[in-house]
Structure 1
Amino acid sequence: MEVLWLMLVALLVCLLSLHFLRQLRAQRSYPPGPLWLPVIGSIWRAGLKADTDTVSKLAKRYGDLYMLWLGHIPVVVLFGYEAVKEGLINHSDDFDERVLTPFLKLFANGEGIIFSNGHTWKQQRKFGITTMRKLGLGKKGMEHQIEEEAHQLVETFAREKGQPFDPAMPIFNSISNVICAVVFGHRFPVEDKEFIKLMGDFYGLLTFLCSVDHMVYELFPWIMKRLPGPHRKALASAEAVLSFARKEVEKHKEHHGAHEPQDFIDFYLSQMKKSENDPNSTYNEENLVHCIFDLFIAGTETSALTLQWALLLLANHPDIQEKAHREIEDVLGSSQIFHYQDRKKLPYTNAVLHEIERFRYIFLLGGPRQCSKDVNMRGFFIPKGAIIIPDLRSVLCDPTHWETPEEFNPNHFLDEDGNFVEREAFLPFGAGARVCLGEQLARIELFIFFANLLRAFTFQLPEGVKELNTDPIVRLTLAPRPYKLCAVPRNSSS
């Protein structure tokens, strides 16, 4: 019996060795990367601790196009401007699929815009882009609502009377209300109980998606789905947000047709009516609900974190803050209303805002894609189904495109005469087929919120604080550590 067991063990070792050697031989045509090991792959080489240096270290060793293995799944990382541009633009159609992880499948179900693929994604995305334009993105309609929300935030800050406070939740609520205006056609008072619960559920879900618990679930879904834990609370929060969206859809259906479309839901219901007899239509209520969910995911955390970083950096750099404020006062004078077009008259203020987005890019990497077919890139073979990770942070800190990539320097976006300069390596919203749907909305709201806050207040460090910590909390997003500052009203706005 012992001899039989030894023979079986020897046979198993031989088979594993042959498989290992066959895998190594097959990888000769793949991009370079750490050694692949059976079962665990090569992700071990990246380490267990997520930080902004890991990807950079691997790129220095293996080049700006390299491969890791998540178990048996190949993961291709694009590092630096040239590799990211080639991947996202030259191979835009090849890398246009979204990775659907086990957790995302539970509540996204391949519906909506962000987490869909194929025909559903193309149809829903096209509708989303068209509808955002109809809603007046960049025109007076939507811009006016953003201006109103910015004024509400100024009033909220003013109630602190220059005393130290944490601006995170007021910013999150205001940005969320912009999305509410786009989707539902109205804002919610911040004391509204339904709005408070909605924000609590949504914030709880985002916190989980950016946590280690989420990564553990994705690695061991067959175990985690049978256990209690934070993932169950996150799923309950996701369902609560979807339920809230369904209720709003029902309210809109009761009054649909009584007036011209006023918001995203109105336009979608009209499109559903037009497409009733189209067998290829993906316009239905479930896709509508998930589109609403996607607009909140794409448009809330991103802009809210950027504004939190903005105020932190302004407080740490009073000279830059004061120079931007003087420009606003000199150019706009007594005008009480900011328009997005005013950015053209404010090159320094615009440069400061762009540098905030570059210097403190809010994601650890870029949104993962999936290879829809076998691809040859730079002489390497990338198999169908491979996960593609564009490292947008490496683009925004690429030393071949930025003079001082590790410094907060608004001059990155100014020429010698002080004019604002667009930079081709400024890609915080991505590029190609999956470029952020809400890019234009984000640009408008960030400028209007930023300029209004900068004009109304001087952002100062609390007494006894020499500098706010700029080291981020590293998860999927890079959030500032909780901080307090003083929003001291300026005489001209008090």
Structure 2
Amino acid sequence: MQSVLRYLDLTSVALALLVGLVSLVVLEIFRLRSLKRRLPPGPTPLPFVGTTLYFFKNPVRLIKSMVQYGDLCTVYIGRRPTIFLNSLDVMKEALVHNGIVFAGRPSMPIMEWISGGNGIVMVTYNHAWKQQRRFALHTLRNFGLGKKSVEERVSEEAQCLIKEILKQEGKAFDPIHLTMNAVSNIICSIVFGDRFEYDNQRFAKLLKILNEHIVLFSSWVTLIVVLFPFMIRLPGPHQKIYQNVKAFKDFIREAMVEHRKMLDPENLRDFIDAYLVEMDKNSLNEDSTFHEENLVMSTSDLFLAGTETTSTTLRWGFIFMMTHPEVQERCHEEIIRVLGYDRTPTMDDRAKLPYTHATVHEILRFGNILPTSVTHETMQTTQLRGYTIPKETLVMANLAAILMDKDHWKHPDTFNPENFLDENGQFCKDEFFLPFSIGPRVCLGESLARTELFIFFTSLLQRLQFSWPPNTPPVDLDGILGMVKIPHPFQMICRSRDVHHVQIHTHGLEVLMSSKLKIRCA
């Protein structure tokens, strides 16, 4: 009798669980149908996971395909609806004309876990964000952002990078460490007051951690945690993300301690010095957001944004130059015709180098490393193109659709600098060129990125030739999408364009180097 009752009890429990599960699924289906009637069209979502599974196969192509649903479309990240802005007009309407309404950042458990709600990039539009961004912009400008001094730093670092690359001349090598080190040295000179040699093992380890962090954010690990936030505290590969963040924060804290010991408020050396002084000024101000945790995360944001995006774009540039050697040769010929081998490029040379300038823009357009920009969130319920968009709705700017608009670009689906040249071969600006986004959340370091890309790219092509190693298979140009769209690992071969000139320039580097930056690459 007891065994029969036990069997009945188990059956009842199983039946109750099944009924409960079916009820949850039915309720979720009704919820999704209700949302679909009120929100813009889009791919059909599945219960609980939404349209997330569609992103597994080829997320970049999926993002490009969103234009089939019109100027606006809806996808579901888990259970949350996300509005895609698929045209330039609707993007301007949302992010510029109603910029404050769309200036929020989503509250995501994984980001809270990493940043604690501090920093600049992932903080929503509020008092803290305004204070931190305003201070960062003001301080970066004081230390050279947008001025000749930063331009000179980039030019000097480009020569160091050339020398390091030439150590690998004729051999296949992966350029990831050298490009990351070179680019990060620019932001490091502003944030930490110094640069790091290419053979600095401690800094090399930090860059390796940074790259691993980017790769992890591009993997299924992060997607699972986004869908099921309760997993954050459980053991698993996602814990490596937290360990990497902690290692980088520890690096910044050590720098902060050293800066505090040598701080002279009358002679500020860098961003950290300026932040420490600001913390002291506001120590009794209850409204202040200047504290140690914000210093750590703001520094981290500046370092990450100032390193990963530009170095990734340069690596895409290498790929495009090796894949299109005719473009590489035309750039080199134009550079030598204008600059020769001995004069380093400046930003003023852009007008004299229209094809090279156009090529840099085409690398940004076709490389498209942020196909959806950084996720926005509505600050209040609003209207957009006849739809009611509820408060706290995720919004993504579909930069991929705009940068490859078939009705606008001359060569939308291929790499071709002619996209930025007029009929006379002169460079022409284009309003569809928005790799740094628009509105209140436009990229903080846009001017620095533009300077770095033009001077690094022009300096490299002035002296070096890049090619694929023999028997290299075709490259997947869709890359790997995560925090940014990174290329699959690759190797390349470099050769000096003119050994005589390179040797002369290398021996003369000490004359060019700024003693203030302590550059010792010569």
TM over 0.5: yes
SS at match of 2:391: coil
Three-state SS of the structure 1 residue aligned to 2:488 is coil
Q: Distance in 2 between matches of 1:194 and 1:319?
A: 39
Query: Residues 67 and 401 of structure 2 are in contact (CA less than 8 Å); yes or no, is this contact kept in structure 1?
Result: no
Question: Which amino acid in 2 is paired with 1:244?
Answer: F
Higher alpha-carbon deviation: 294-303 or 74-83 = 74-83
Paired residue for 1:108?
Answer: 115
8 Å Cα contact 2:338-2:353 kept in structure 1: yes
Q: In the alignment, is residue 213 of structure 1 matched against residue 221 of structure 2?
A: yes
2:260 to 253, 258, 268: 253
CA 1:222/1:493 → structure 2, altered by over 3 Å: closer, same or farther?
same
Amino acid at match of 2:338: V
Deviations 1:129-153 (A, max 9, x none): 1112111123232222222211111
> How far apart in 1 are the matches of 2:447 and 2:136?
12
Distance 1:55 1:195, change over 3 A: closer
Contact 1:249 1:265 in 2 (8 A): yes
8 Å contact kept, 1:461–1:468: no
Q: Distance in 2 between matches of 1:224 and 1:188?
A: 34
Secondary structure of the residue aligned to 1:97 is coil
Unaligned stretches of 5+ in structure 2? 1-7, 504-522
Deviation at 1:196, TM superposition (A): 2.1
1:24 pairs with 2:33: yes
Cα distance change on mapping 1:37 and 1:448 into 2, 3 Å: closer
Q: CA deviation at 1:332?
A: 1.8
Whether the 8 Å contact between 2:265 and 2:277 is mirrored in structure 1 is no
Find 1:39's aligned residue among 48, 54, 63: 48
Q: 1:200/1:32 Cα in 2 relative to 1: closer, same or farther (>3 Å)?
A: same
Give 2:238's aligned residue: 231
Tell me the distance in 2 between the aligned counterparts of 1:484 and 1:35: 40
Which segment is superposed worse, 96-105 or 389-398?
96-105
**1:407 aligned residue:** 414
Residues 172, 304 of structure 1: 8 Å contact kept = yes
Equivalent residue letter for 2:38 = S
- What's 2:288 paired with? 281
Kindly indicate whether the alpha-carbon contact (under 8 Å) linking 1:31 and 1:381 is maintained by their aligned counterparts in 2.
no
Matched residue, 1:48? 56
Distance in 2, matches of 1:90 and 1:314, equals 38
Task: Find the aligned partners of 2:119 and 2:26 in 1 and give their Cα distance.
Answer: 44
Structure 1: which 5+ runs fail to align?
Answer: none
Which aligned pairs between 1:435-454 and structure 2 lie closer than 5 A?
435-454=442-461
Deviations 1:170-212 (A, max 9, x none): 1112112222112101011222232122222222222211221
The whole-number CA distance in structure 2 between the counterparts of 1:384 and 1:333 is 57
Whether the 8 Å CA contact 2:41–2:74 is kept in 1: the answer is yes
Matching residue of 1:174: 182
Counterpart residue type for residue 317 of structure 1: H
Q: Structure 1 residues 407, 34: CA separation in 2 closer, same or farther (over 3 Å shift)?
A: closer
Measure the CA separation in 1 of the matches of 2:65 and 2:292.
46
Does 2:395 align with 1:384? no
Question: Structure 2: which amino acid aligns with 1:109?
Answer: G
2: CA distance, partners of 1:154 / 1:430: 31
Partner in structure 2 of residue 243 of structure 1:
250
Q: Which residue is 1:77 aligned to?
A: 84
- Conserved 8 A contact 1:98-1:116: yes
C-alpha displacement at 1:286, in angstroms? 1.1
Q: Which residue of 1 aligns with 2:502?
A: 493
**Partners in 2 of 1:108 and 1:368 — Cα distance?**
16
* 1:447 partner letter: F
- The CA distance in 1 between the partners of 2:24 and 2:331, in whole Å, is 67
CA shift for structure 1 position 52: 2.0
Q: How many residues align?
A: 490
Against the structure 1 CA distance between its residues 193 and 48, is the aligned structure 2 distance closer, same or farther, given a 3 Å change threshold? closer
> In the alignment, what sits opposite 1:266?
273
Assess, with a 3 A threshold, how the Cα gap between structure 1 residues 15 and 222 changes in structure 2: closer, same or farther: closer
In the other structure, the counterpart of 2:128 is 120
Q: What letter is aligned with 2:489? A: P
**Identical aligned residues as a percent:** 36
Per the alignment, residue 137 of structure 2 pairs with 129
Match of 1:289, SS state, is helix
- CA gap 1:64/1:189 in 2 versus in 1, 3 angstroms: same
CA contact (8 A) 1:183 1:264 kept: yes
